[in-house]
Structure 1
Amino acid sequence: MVSSLARRGDRLVGVGPRGLVLLSVDGGGSWKQVPAPVSADLVSVKFAAGDTVWAVGHDAVALRSVDAGATWERVLDGRSVLKLLRSTYGSAAQAGDARAKGMLDEFDRAMEQSATPGVLPAPFLDVWFGANGEGYLVGAFGLILRTADHGKTWAPWIEHVDNDSRFHLYGVSGTAERLYVAGEQGLLLRLDRQQGRFVKVDTPYKGTYFGIDVQPGRLLAYGLRGNVYLSRNDGQQWDKVDTGIDAHIVAAVNAGDDRVLLVSQAGHVLALKPGSLKVQPLQVPFTSEVLSAVAAGSKSLVFGQINGIRVVELMGYSLQ
């Protein structure tokens, strides 16, 4: 199983269960497995600046590669994150901060569910890094960490998010100027730098968003049962995209010129027409359950699937 894929040029990295890391240097034509320093399930991988790649997953694991995916080091795990959370909020609680005391109680309740003593059981579900070294890790039960120094040090940011219900945070995407987090029960958040927090953005949908695609003049939030919503004014107004399917949308692949391909868990590939709320279904070969997708060249996609990796040719459609 390949849970997530990331691409830069001809180099692709895929991650999956039990510390699986796969690397391709020829645009997905061939793959090799590279060693990882953990056995936890990895669920998301993203390129950052230069040759840096980040992968995150279960047991609060965060891995970093500085050679474009060839070798990996463990930066965080459930032990170090739990220590960071207890240290940060413990100090505030001792100073009389009732909110921090409440968070410590939350962590204690979470540890009652941990299969391994001393290991925070919450997974990280996505990662984002900007060119200036700012980065965020987001995950289950509202877990979020921030770094300002390329991951050398981290700070919990749970209290900097409009998410008192601790909904799961599934995706983080955008630019330093327009950064968004997508979560369950219709939760969508935008980083407000003046306030120093992620503030809630109202949307018409109350189901789970798995991700958000942020492009100039466009936001595209996607999630459960084929639900996709489009905004062209930074979330002030939203329109529903008529996908015509009820399978979960797992990826939005940019195709240039304001075009985007929506990929479903069932293997649908839908081309969203520029300036429209309609999609054009593309003919692709039948495939197994799809978990992620990236472009590979000008006429194909690479799917991360329940049973591995597959390159899918797009008949009559160009990604450039």
Structure 2
Amino acid sequence: MNRICQVVGRLMWLVALPLAMPLSLAHGAAVTDALNTPAMRAPQAQHAVLLDLARAGTRLVAVGERGIVLLSDDNGKSWRQAEVPVSVSLTAVQFIDADTGWAVGHAGVVLVSRDGGEHWRLQLDGNRAAQLELQAARQQLSTASDPDAAAARVQTAERFVSEGQDKPFLALKFVDELHGLIVGAYGLAFHTDDGGRTWQSLMGRIDNPMGAHLYAIARQGEHWFVAGEQGYLARSDDAGQSFMALQSPYAGSFFALQIRDDGTLLAAGLKGNAFVSNDLGESFQPAPVALPVSFSDAIRTDDGQLLLVNQSGALFRTSGQSGAFLKPYGQPLGIPVASVVEAADGSLVLAGFTGLARVSPPTAIASE
């Protein structure tokens, strides 16, 4: 598959999506206009293409195409649109509490909200991100023990600058109001220690020589994990300051990465492939499911278990019982799903190609 097509995010069904902003349009005036144009009010925004969900306290926040951000204060029963200063597609969102959260997306956009998603402010864009990477690459070159590798990094960074703001961020993870990591296409990786007021490139400290697209982030204490295309997996043992590639159990892309309360790491992606590790990624075992449909998201539920959703809307849940690690959860929804979140009342809210859906939690896990 064309690498550019993969950039649209964790979901392969978005490759052919005409409504989301394709990278072929993310050049010059088109993106500049989108960065300077607030998201339009959409009368049927809850049926737009929505790519990610998060909880802000008891509030739900959904983000998606053309800068749409929706808020729900009744566990997903009704939604209203927030004010957003850009109209580029947003791919991921996270809140650390009821007030403070971030969203990332196309054109290298990073947005912050301090009022539960009601209003957003632009913190970073693709032009600035490329300049930051070029500065870091040149600094590395001046002190590099491997001048050839450092020079190659500078050349890549110079190309990023010349290409402009055409590369999306695809995942983010904040641990508190100050410290966060964002990753995206072509190995983009930046971290902040001051809540996003400033950002530093991590691309020289991630073992990703081919520039694999990075789709997901997970964290357990000092250990951080990233996952991406072509089976890419990496771990940090120094609180996200540097990453070393892991031996991958699979050559296909991983779109979902999550850690259960007991420390079990789960990586899932193309064609229903899922793998678990109980030794911080040193080894993996298959977690087979019957459906060869790509996984799109994984969350940790309030009871510490993991819940996965695939692109056909089928749900799978981990179990503390012996036997199969992943078990079907309820009935397949039959709709394309990008993201799932557990609402404060225990219901599940899902986002995807056809907008938002809300389902009551299944009463029991289906038998094996």
Q: Aligned equivalents of 2:253 and 2:363: distance in 1?
A: 33
How big is the shift at 1:279? Answer: 3.3
Write the deviation string for residues 34-58 of structure 1: whole angstroms up to 9, x where unpaired.
Answer: 1111111110001125621110011
For 2:352, the aligned partner's letter is Q
Q: Which residue of 2 aligns with 1:5?
A: 53
Given the superposition, is the C-alpha separation of residues 202 and 91 from structure 1 closer, same or farther in structure 2, using an over 3 Å criterion?
closer
Given the superposition, is the C-alpha separation of residues 9 and 287 from structure 1 closer, same or farther in structure 2, using an over 3 Å criterion?
farther
Runs of 4+ deviating beyond 6 Å = none
Write the deviation string for residues 188-218 of structure 1: whole angstroms up to 9, x where unpaired.
Answer: 1111219941112223112111121123321
Are 1:8 and 1:47, in contact at CA under 8 Å, matched by a contact in 2?
yes
Are 1:130 and 1:176, in contact at CA under 8 Å, matched by a contact in 2?
no
Higher relative contact order (CA 8 A, sep 6+): 2
Q: Which residue of 2 aligns with 1:251?
A: 297
Are 2:235 and 2:281, in contact at CA under 8 Å, matched by a contact in 1?
no
Q: Judging by fraction of residues, say which structure has more strand.
A: 1
Are 1:284 and 1:313, in contact at CA under 8 Å, matched by a contact in 2?
no
- Given the alignment, which residue of 104, 107, 119 partners 1:59? 107
Q: Aligned equivalents of 1:7 and 1:144: distance in 2?
A: 24
How big is the shift at 1:126? Answer: 0.6
How big is the shift at 1:64? Answer: 0.5
Are 2:57 and 2:97, in contact at CA under 8 Å, matched by a contact in 1?
no
Where do 5+ consecutive residues of structure 2 fail to align? 1-48
Segment of structure 1 superposing worse, 82-91 or 209-218 = 82-91
Are 1:4 and 1:14, in contact at CA under 8 Å, matched by a contact in 2?
yes
**Percent of paired sites with the same residue:** 35
Q: How many residues align?
A: 313
Are 2:258 and 2:306, in contact at CA under 8 Å, matched by a contact in 1?
no
Q: Which residue of 2 aligns with 1:221?
A: 267
Aligned: 1:107 with 2:157: yes
Q: Aligned equivalents of 1:268 and 1:285: distance in 2?
A: 4
Where do 5+ consecutive residues of structure 1 fail to align? none
For 1:7, the aligned partner's letter is R
How big is the shift at 1:277? Answer: 3.0
Are 1:284 and 1:314, in contact at CA under 8 Å, matched by a contact in 2?
no
Are 1:130 and 1:175, in contact at CA under 8 Å, matched by a contact in 2?
no
Given the superposition, is the C-alpha separation of residues 92 and 233 from structure 1 closer, same or farther in structure 2, using an over 3 Å criterion?
closer
Write the deviation string for residues 130-187 of structure 1: whole angstroms up to 9, x where unpaired.
Answer: 1272211101111101112221211111110111111011011214422111111111
Q: Which residue of 2 aligns with 1:89?
A: 137
Q: Judging by fraction of residues, say which structure has more helix.
A: 2
Aligned: 1:182 with 2:227: yes
Alignment root-mean-square deviation, CA? 2.3
Aligned: 1:235 with 2:285: no
Write the deviation string for residues 206-242 of structure 1: whole angstroms up to 9, x where unpaired.
Answer: 2111121123321111111111111122222321112
Q: What TM-score, normalized to structure 2?
A: 0.79
- Given the alignment, which residue of 292, 300, 304 partners 2:351? 304
Q: Aligned equivalents of 2:333 and 2:238: distance in 1?
A: 45
Are 1:17 and 1:40, in contact at CA under 8 Å, matched by a contact in 2?
yes
